[in-house]
Amino acid sequence: MSHPETSHRLPSAATRAAILLRIRTALQYTTAKPQEPADPAVFPAIPPNDLLQRFATELAALKGELLQASTWAEAQAHLGRMAEESQFVRIVATPHPDIRQACGSVVARTLTGDHDCGPNLAQADLGITPCDCLVARTGSIVLTSRSGFGRSLSVLPPAHLVVARRSQLVADLSDAFRLLRSWHGAMWPSMMTIISGPSRTADIEKILVLGANGPRKLMVLLLNF
Amino acid sequence: MSASTEFDDKAELKAHDLRHRAVLQQNIGTYTAKVAETKARFLNWEPGRQSARGRKWEAINHLDRYLEDFERNASERGTVVHWAVDGAQARALILDLCRKHQVRRVVKSKSMITEEIHLNDFLETHGILPVETDLGEYIVQLRCEHPYHIVTPAMHLTRDDVDQTFHEKLGTPRGSVPAELAGIARRVLRQKYLEADMGITGANFLVADTGMVVITENEGNARLCSSLPPLHVAIVGIEKVIPRLDDLALFLPILAVAGTGQQITCYNTMIGGPRGQGEPDGPVEFHVILLDNGRTELLADTEQREALHCIRCGACLNACPVFRNIGGHAYGTTYQGPIGSVITPHLRGLQEWQHLSSASSLCGACSDVCPVGIGLHHHLLRNRRNAARGGARTWREAVIFRLWAVVMQNEDLYRFLGHVLRTGQRLLRGAGLEGSFLDPAWRWSRGRSPPHMPAQTFREWWENRGKPENAASILRAKPEAERHNMPQQS
């Protein structure tokens, strides 16, 4: 190695300048630009009418659960049944009108501020959040530290429920990025994440195990109205 | 012991370890089937990798501009961007942060660059406890091993090995199945996140136009490491930059397909700063360390610059017949397999690490599977050439090639030695001594089925080819493998 071990004594501005100088010196010699593909279509198009079907298929393949409701009563029934079956007692939710409506008689503690977050969420059974959009091609949920009310509510509790509108469904990741940019481009949230199924690992003999560090259960309650 | 001798010894040992081979084959077999299935169903692979290659080319060949864009955009929202020439500087930066904030406990998500700079050992010697939170990394950390594979760190272990490790280190009962083992790790690690003073992660991409750090994972541990502790530090190689946020719509699927055969990994997280205004949680400070550590040397080599396109998916390891025989630990490097053999000589010195480029059949399987189209096997050949420019590696090699040149230039000598070799091999085989310690080629033949030289030389065959008794050529009479003089696979 050409770098002396004592180099860490350089001040940071000098380090920055040194690295940029090395880069610029190297780039004085150019390389040929590779050929662009003749047909750049990487992903086959999904017809607009198939979006919901595709999202449902992909989410199921990822072992996520999709619940659909056409009325508030249906949404509330879904949530009530789920809370009872899975014995969700300590439910924590983002303050959001759709979630408040969907919860109905299910008691969910609504987050109010930072004193509620972080380690305090470690005892929760279920976190409920809205999302920014849903991606049909990969069965993904896109949320941010704004829509998700911070970073930990959607990852720390062992189960995560996303309440979404059908109109939030888009075909591709590129559509999702376009939307995120139009909504947040002026002031980005500090974190955005694309969630595709419940937390998983295959680190032991390639055997799939759900709930590695994040939620074991991922559910999407889709409001079709 | 030199890195080269150590490599020879470990490779020799692992290549003949049948249990190791079975574990590896099961693991890579599952991977290969899944990748093939996803490639066929999910996307048009060839245009995908060509586009990915084009975008990485754009980023690497304008690296100064994109890094400055990243720095400006990230700083605007409160990220502190540091630059480090080498591992020592990066470690010093982290230690300064730890001291300033009285950090005692660190949670880490999987990051090969922290392996590259030996961060864990360094932190421990300064009284700071780093805990790996990716399940595979946690397992190898408990076993005091290094990651075996850049994507699948515990690929070499069976469920029984992990069960044994947890039993010894965590006191759990024996006989746990993988789901239970993952559950044990989950419970232990959960506590660690909540207690940690700092989260350290790597990154898969740096997005220049929005100043974001992108982390790809399946477990959620990187999200937890970057959400709960009050400090988050991401250490990132300068080559990870991509021009635009929208490029991720291509890179995330491409990386997942090549890395694990998934369409997209479970969590792809873009972090653009510390906790924002009105956000209820997240770290108070977010630091990004941009690390060079030899990458600019690779950049200066126009012939091999494209090796910086690598997105560390691990596909070339899984495809490589050498990796599949000797496994990841034999390499003795942070980055194993073909990509490791290509870049390690640039990062850590050509003469000491050039032997890895010779441990290749140049079959090109690595280049075929690379999702960003790096011509890996060509680079292995270039490393060999560059290393040979300084002359032979050892005096033995010099003598061997001198002798070889003499023989090749003397027809009678060549013919005579050919005769000796053929007869010698026939006698050895007849006596049943092939592969025994009386065999002069013992070091090679003890673990392999040697190719058998044909009874007739090409010259003899050529001279006799017109005669009727030879019309039914030898070529047709012999089985396929023997005809091409190929070793029989055992």
When pLDDT is cut at 50, 70 and 90, the band that residue B481 belongs to is very low
- Positive or negative CA dihedral for B301, B306, B309, B314? negative
- CB-based contact (8 Å) between A28 and chain B? no
One domain for residues B285 and B408: no
- CB-based contact (8 Å) between A186 and chain B? no
Task: For B48, name the nearest residue in chain A, comparing CA atoms only.
Answer: A42
- CB-based contact (8 Å) between A143 and chain B? no
Is B94 among the domain residues? Answer: yes
Residue in A41, A189, A205 nearest the CB of B178? A205
pLDDT, tens digit, 9 for 90 and up, residues B33-57: 999 999 999 999 999 999 999 999 9
Residue in A181, A213, A215 nearest the CB of B189? A213
One domain for residues B122 and B241: yes
Confidence at residue A114, expressed as pLDDT on a 0 to 100 scale? 60
Cα B191–B194–B196 angle (5° rounding)? 105
- CB-based contact (8 Å) between A197 and chain B? yes
Residue in B86, B182, B280 nearest the CB of A114? B280
> Please, are residues A91 and A108 in contact by the beta-carbon 8 Å criterion?
yes
Asked if B253's CB is within 8 angstroms of A173's CB, the reply is: yes
> Please, are residues B259 and A202 in contact by the beta-carbon 8 Å criterion?
no
Query: Partners of B291 in the beta sheet?
Result: B84, B237
> Please, are residues A142 and A134 in contact by the beta-carbon 8 Å criterion?
yes
Residues of chain A above pLDDT 70, percent: 92
Is A168 among the domain residues? Answer: yes
- Pairing type for strands B105-108 and B285-291 reads unpaired
Is B174 among the domain residues? Answer: yes
A165: helix, strand or coil: strand
Task: For B154, name the nearest residue in chain A, comparing CA atoms only.
Answer: A203
The pTM for the full model equals 0.90
Residue B210, Cβ neighbours under 10 Å: how many?
A: 24
Task: For A114, name the nearest residue in chain B, comparing CA atoms only.
Answer: B280
Is B89 among the domain residues? Answer: yes
Is A128 among the domain residues? Answer: yes
Is A73 among the domain residues? Answer: yes
Confidence at residue A107, expressed as pLDDT on a 0 to 100 scale? 79
The residue of B267, B297, B367 whose CB has the most chain A CBs within 10 angstroms, and thus the best one to mutate to test that interface, is: B267
pLDDT, tens digit, 9 for 90 and up, residues B404-463: 999 999 999 999 998 898 898 889 888 888 888 888 888 888 777 888 888 788 888 888
Task: For A177, name the nearest residue in chain B, comparing CA atoms only.
Answer: B246
**Closest Cα in chain A, distance from residue B361 (Å):** 26
pLDDT exceeds 60 at position B482:
no
Query: What's the rounded Cα separation, in Å, for the pair A163 and B239?
Result: 38
Residues 33 through 72 of chain A touching chain B, CB cutoff 8 Å: 33-44, 58, 62
Is A184 among the domain residues? Answer: yes
| Helices and strands in chain A: count of H runs, count of E runs | 5, 12
Q: What average pLDDT does the segment B389-396 reach?
A: 76
Task: For A119, name the nearest residue in chain B, comparing CA atoms only.
Answer: B194
Is A47 among the domain residues? Answer: no
Residue B451, Cβ neighbours under 10 Å: how many?
A: 15
Amino acid in the structure at residue B172 = T
Is A46 among the domain residues? Answer: no
Query: What's the rounded Cα separation, in Å, for the pair B272 and A131?
Result: 18
Per-chain mean pLDDT for chain A: 91
Asked if B92's CB is within 8 angstroms of A199's CB, the reply is: no
Residue in A1, A191, A211 nearest the CB of B348? A1
Residue in A16, A41, A209 nearest the CB of B44? A41
Query: Partners of A131 in the beta sheet?
Result: none
When pLDDT is cut at 50, 70 and 90, the band that residue A139 belongs to is very high
Residue in B26, B31, B218 nearest the CB of A212? B218
pLDDT exceeds 70 at position B155:
yes
Confidence at residue B433, expressed as pLDDT on a 0 to 100 scale? 86
Please state the separation of Cα B147 from the chain's center in Å.
10
Task: For B251, name the nearest residue in chain A, comparing CA atoms only.
Answer: A173
Cβ-Cβ contacts under 8 Å between A and B: the total is 301
> Please, are residues B231 and B93 in contact by the beta-carbon 8 Å criterion?
no
pLDDT exceeds 70 at position B138:
yes
Phi, psi of B429 (to 5 degrees): -70, -40
The residue of B166, B192, B227, B277 whose CB has the most chain A CBs within 10 angstroms, and thus the best one to mutate to test that interface, is: B227
Query: What's the rounded Cα separation, in Å, for the pair A169 and A175?
Result: 10
In whole angstroms, how large is the CA radius of gyration of chain A? 22
Is B3 among the domain residues? Answer: no
For residue B276, the chain A residues in CB contact (below 8 A) are 145-146, 189-190
Is B488 among the domain residues? Answer: no
Task: For B156, name the nearest residue in chain A, comparing CA atoms only.
Answer: A205
Q: Which of B293, B321, B346 is the last residue in one of the domains?
A: B293
- Domain of residue A158 covers 63-198
Task: For B45, name the nearest residue in chain A, comparing CA atoms only.
Answer: A42
One domain for residues B67 and B188: yes
When pLDDT is cut at 50, 70 and 90, the band that residue A2 belongs to is very low
Per-chain mean pLDDT for chain B: 92
The residue of B69, B212, B218 whose CB has the most chain A CBs within 10 angstroms, and thus the best one to mutate to test that interface, is: B218
When pLDDT is cut at 50, 70 and 90, the band that residue B304 belongs to is very high
Q: What average pLDDT does the segment B295-303 reach?
A: 97
Q: What average pLDDT does the segment A204-211 reach?
A: 95
The CATH number of the domain holding residue A141 is 3.40.50
Q: What average pLDDT does the segment B350-363 reach?
A: 93
**Closest Cα in chain A, distance from residue B228 (Å):** 6
Q: What average pLDDT does the segment B364-378 reach?
A: 97
Amino acid in the structure at residue B481 = A
One domain for residues B125 and B262: yes
Task: For A211, name the nearest residue in chain B, comparing CA atoms only.
Answer: B219
- CB-based contact (8 Å) between A31 and chain B? yes
- Domain of residue B463 covers 395-483
Whether the ipTM is more than 0.90: the answer is yes
pLDDT exceeds 80 at position B240:
yes
pLDDT exceeds 60 at position B485:
no
When pLDDT is cut at 50, 70 and 90, the band that residue A1 belongs to is very low
The residue ranking higher by pLDDT, B224 or B440, is B224
B327, B235, B359, B445: which is closest to B14 by C-alpha? B327
Phi, psi of B267 (to 5 degrees): -125, 125
Q: What average pLDDT does the segment A197-210 reach?
A: 96
For residue A31, the chain B residues in CB contact (below 8 A) are 57, 61, 302, 305-306
pLDDT, tens digit, 9 for 90 and up, residues A70-85: 999 999 999 999 999 9
Q: What average pLDDT does the segment B353-372 reach?
A: 96
The CATH number of the domain holding residue B53 is 3.40.50.10420
Amino acid in the structure at residue B78 = G
pLDDT, tens digit, 9 for 90 and up, residues B202-222: 999 999 999 999 999 999 999
Q: What average pLDDT does the segment B86-96 reach?
A: 97
**Closest Cα in chain B, distance from residue A73 (Å):** 31
Is A153 among the domain residues? Answer: yes
Provide the token pair at B71.
């720095």
The residue ranking higher by pLDDT, B478 or B73, is B73
**Closest Cα in chain A, distance from residue B48 (Å):** 5
Q: How many domains does chain B have?
A: 2
Is B25 among the domain residues? Answer: no
Is B337 among the domain residues? Answer: no
Confidence at residue A10, expressed as pLDDT on a 0 to 100 scale? 58
For residue A29, the chain B residues in CB contact (below 8 A) are 300, 302
Is B368 among the domain residues? Answer: no
- CB-based contact (8 Å) between A117 and chain B? yes
Q: Which of B293, B324, B339 is the last residue in one of the domains?
A: B293
Q: What average pLDDT does the segment A28-37 reach?
A: 93
One domain for residues B80 and B222: yes
| Residue linked to tokens 């026939």 | B426
Confidence at residue A36, expressed as pLDDT on a 0 to 100 scale? 87
Confidence at residue B404, expressed as pLDDT on a 0 to 100 scale? 95
> Please, are residues B213 and B268 in contact by the beta-carbon 8 Å criterion?
no
One domain for residues B160 and B275: yes
Residues of chain B above pLDDT 70, percent: 94
Q: Which of B293, B328, B363 is the last residue in one of the domains?
A: B293
Is A162 among the domain residues? Answer: yes
Cα A196–B370–B48 angle (5° rounding)? 60
Residue in B182, B279, B292 nearest the CB of A150? B279
